[in-house]
Amino acid sequence: MQRADGRAPDQLRPINFEIGIAPHATASVLVAMGNTRVICGVMVEETVPRWMKEQGVSGGWLTAEYSMLPYSTQTRKPRDISKGKLDGRSTEIQRLIGRSLRAVVDLEKLGPRTMWIDCDVLQADGGTRTAAITGASVAVALACRRLVEEKKLSELPVAKLVGAVSTGVLEGVSVVDLNYEEDKLVTVDFNLVATEEGEFVELQGSGEEATFSQQQLDEMLVLGRRSICELIAAQRAVLAEVAPMG
Ligand code: UDP
């Protein structure tokens, strides 16, 4: 099995985080995994959703939105607004991003405020949902630091970093971080979300007109977890570089 871009089965695409690309956001990150690039912007509002007030739920809230910009795909993808409704795929992805980040943020410590994570795909080449989570984790960490700097919070509400990666089975071989070409060819598509401690947040695996064995599942779990460790090391490196707070 030869990957089109010459990568080893366990090799991630080059990863890069560009910080502060949207200056009005509380924090922003342009994350690149190879040719997949996603803008992750975080804004904090000093209010909580009405259902929390009505149900007397304390603490804050964190929610995410995801969309693909019309020019992010090979053929133009009309904005959802032009169709009058959000497509099912975007809804599913934004809920995944929200769940992934809520797993590592202490909403009680966040206090009565809402953290919005807006993920907009600038360039889609496979793995946009996983790149969005990996980028959003950095943006959320930076936004939390900002809240502490501004003395809105006395301690960081973000307990851990979270990362995500896609894996799949290509010509019988388990591979990590699929690009679009590979995504079309794989017989299994398996996305993993995990924390820096190696604990899983979510696993999404499906056979694409095929089945997969326990052994392949185990291989993908090992590959995915190892790759997420690499992604989290890259997140740490960029956070250390930009850190005013260390
Ligand atoms: N894609 C596309 N148009 C769409 C949906 C997907 O071009 O409306 C491409 C895009 O490159 C995306 C890939 O198909 O990254 C795989 O899509 P999938 O739904 O598996 O999500 P992703 O891998 O991006 O999380």
Instruction: List, in order of start, the domains of the chain with CATH numbers.
Output: 15-242 (3.30.230.70)
The pLDDT of residue 243 is above 80: no
The pLDDT of residue 83 is above 90: no
The whole-number pLDDT of residue 1 equals 85
**Residue 235 region by backbone torsions, left for phi larger than 0, else alpha for psi between -120 and 50, else beta:** alpha
Q: From the alpha carbon of 132, which atom of ligand 1 is closest?
A: 25
How far, in Å, from the CA of 88 to the mean position of ligand 1?
13
The whole-number pLDDT of residue 245 equals 47
Q: From the alpha carbon of 126, which atom of ligand 1 is closest?
A: 15
The pLDDT of residue 159 is above 90: no
* 2 vs 175: CA distance, rounded Å: 11
- Per-residue pLDDT reduced to its tens digit, 168-211: 999 999 999 999 999 999 999 999 999 989 999 999 999 988 99
* 121 vs 138: CA distance, rounded Å: 16
Over the chain, what is the mean pLDDT?
Answer: 95
The pLDDT of residue 88 is above 90: yes
The whole-number pLDDT of residue 244 equals 55
User: What mean pLDDT is predicted for residues 2-21?
Assistant: 96
How far, in Å, from the CA of 72 to the mean position of ligand 1?
10
* 231 vs 226: CA distance, rounded Å: 9
- b/e 46-80 (16+ beta carbons within 10 angstroms → b): eebeeebeeeeeeebbbbbbbbbbeebeeeebeee
